Amino acid sequence: MDRTKKLAESLAIKNISVKRTKTDKNEDKEQTSLPVTISFETLAGPVSYKKEIPLTFEKQKDTENWYINWDSSFVLKDFKKEDKIQLTTLEAKRGDLLDTKKQPLATTGTGYEVGAVAGKINDLKTLAKQLNRPVSAIEEALAASWVKDGQFVPLKTYTANDKTQISRLKQIDGVSVKETEVRTYPFGKATSHLIGYTGSATADDIKQSKQTIQAGEQVGKRGLEQVLDETLRGKSGSRIEIVKPDQSTVDIAETKAKDGQDIQLTIDGKLQQTTYATMKDDPGTAAVIDPRTGKTRVLLSSPGFDPSEFTTGISQARLDTLTNDPDQPLLNRFTSAFAPGSTQKPLTAAVGLNSKTLDPEKAYTIDGLKTKIDGFNVTRIHETPDPVNLHNALVYSDNVYFAKSTLEQIGTKTFTSGLEALGYGEKIPFTYPMRASQISNDGSIASDGQLMDTSYGQGQMLTNILHLVSMYEIFLTDGTIYRPTLLAEEETKQVWKKDLLEAKDAALIRNDLYDVVHAGYSLPAEIPEIKVAGKTGTAELKKAGEENGQENGFFVGYDNDRKDLLVAIMIESVEQEDRGSPYVSGLVADVLKSHANR
């Protein structure tokens, strides 16, 4: 009875039905049989079989009656007392993640499973050192209840790139290596935050999933592996077999695995890799889109990490190293939002021009680097050639001009509604969950000082990097923002926001963005190979009591001739080595140059 109950639980047997197929009433016989059809559901699918139930007429405890002559075959057809039941999970092949040219960003390749042969390992200390695991962890694995001498006990999985390490491990007596399937990530760190990685399903994964997940099954743990997990993972199958004493088997039920689907992205893997290399592992983020369609070509966070470390099993010591790294390689910066600094200025101008409140020719006479406006001090980095109109203010990035023109011409209400029209405070319609950009913590502008700060991308304003680069589309599309897409199957040129700028005003700002690079202060973005246009931005992040804070440098730019890519890069702490946002403009130029030369 105990065995039958355990089988019912482990095989998830339900909906049991026993139907009589005919009746044979012959009470003169001491023995007879009753034909029935037995059926039920299992986790491996339906089971149905016919059975002749043997009946015996006999006396038990002073009662004469027909009794069932029970045996193990009542549980499963052909099942005998000495047999065993084997439940096998049939793994579904996980779908690949592909870039726009169908190059794999995540795929299933060949790796190695390293294990110890129980009873054959003598040098645990050397093995533990090579596996970067405590000796106690290996001892615990070898002491598991199922382990018997001579059995292979898996300890760690490696990718095909770890052949040197595999060779070292093979030199240790008692170590065995088997080929196995491993999730691989050809672009490594460059796509680590976007693609993520897989790992064994935990109790929480099983509980939260809408699909049935088996314990230990590989599931997405981060990035698109997690976001698109249910499509990529497919559905595992199961097989139930009777195992006879001679190891022969009898099939009972089987549900075939349904392989996961491949998913093609709009990401250009080569361009992503180039952009990541250009950033030299500096903390920051980048987004590149095609302004003609809204397709996302690059989306990355720097520095990245090696996703295979997590897929094959990362040690606690290594995880602690990554977690405590001051550059925060595990932090996904492209999902966050940052003060955009002066990259906000062209957008502020667009709000004013589109609302007919900003006169681009109205000029201000501004003296010195600091100006007090309505009791608030506004500082600019450089003195701008007079007169300071919109063109000069953009070319020389004049904070005072934008503070005065937003306060005196645009006004709080028009400015706030203009930012909302650009998508501030609104969920970004994108496959990968992003933090929404914000005007302020509560979405409003409460004072003139806050209005002026916000006009040049400071105050409480925070902008997501993908949203930032998407908003710059209005200068190339004459006022339209396309919904940014990430999946190749998504319809392109879907209008997210429209009528944000008239054609003449878009042309005016395009001219100003070109002059930022070619007529203003010297910028590394001014290169002979291509004509870069764009805007720098520096956001200072001061903590309470600090006179000078961390500076994040931005540049959003494009090739003025081709206009087929918009590139936004943010690098943290550009105040170090006195690099500033001009340094970031050079990175964007390098990316655009690389694209032009392909």
Q: Which of 386, 349, 341 is nearest to 501 (CA)?
A: 349
Token reading at 25: 């009433």
Longest dimension (CA), the chain: 121
Q: Which of 51, 84, 83, 85 is nearest to 69 (CA)?
A: 51
Helix, strand, coil fractions of the chain, as percent rounded to 5: 30, 30, 40
**CB-CB contact of 305 with 280 (8 Å):** no
Residue 406 parent element (H or E): none
Tell me the chain's radius of gyration from C-alpha atoms. 34
Token reading at 512: 């100003």
Q: Which of 101, 319, 96, 111 is nearest to 225 (CA)?
A: 96
Centre a 10 Å sphere on the Cβ of residue 523 and count the other Cβ atoms it contains: 22
Token reading at 76: 């499963």
Which own/partner contact pairs does 495-503 have at CB distance under 8 Å and 24+ positions apart?
A: 496/294, 496/423, 496/429, 496/470, 497/421, 497/422, 497/423, 499/354, 500/350, 500/354, 500/421, 500/422, 500/474, 501/350, 501/353, 501/354, 501/474, 501/475, 502/353, 502/354, 502/478, 503/478, 503/479
Q: At what angle do helices 412-421 and 448-455 cross, to 10 degrees?
A: 40
Q: Which of 399, 410, 467 is nearest to 438 (CA)?
A: 467
CA angle 550, 553, 555 (to 5 degrees): 170
Centre a 10 Å sphere on the Cβ of residue 345 and count the other Cβ atoms it contains: 28
Q: Which of 135, 123, 137 is nearest to 173 (CA)?
A: 123
Token reading at 154: 């898996």
- CA dist 257 and 239 (Å) reads 10
With 0-12 / 13-18 / 19 or more C-beta atoms within 10 angstroms meaning exposed / middle / buried, residue 367 is exposed
Q: At what angle do helices 580-596 and 269-279 cross, to 10 degrees?
A: 150
Helix (H, G, I), strand (E, B) or coil at 534: strand
- CA dist 265 and 488 (Å) reads 5
- CA dist 107 and 269 (Å) reads 14
Active site residues: 342
Judging by DSSP bridges, how do beta strands 550-559 and 532-541 pair with one another? Answer: antiparallel
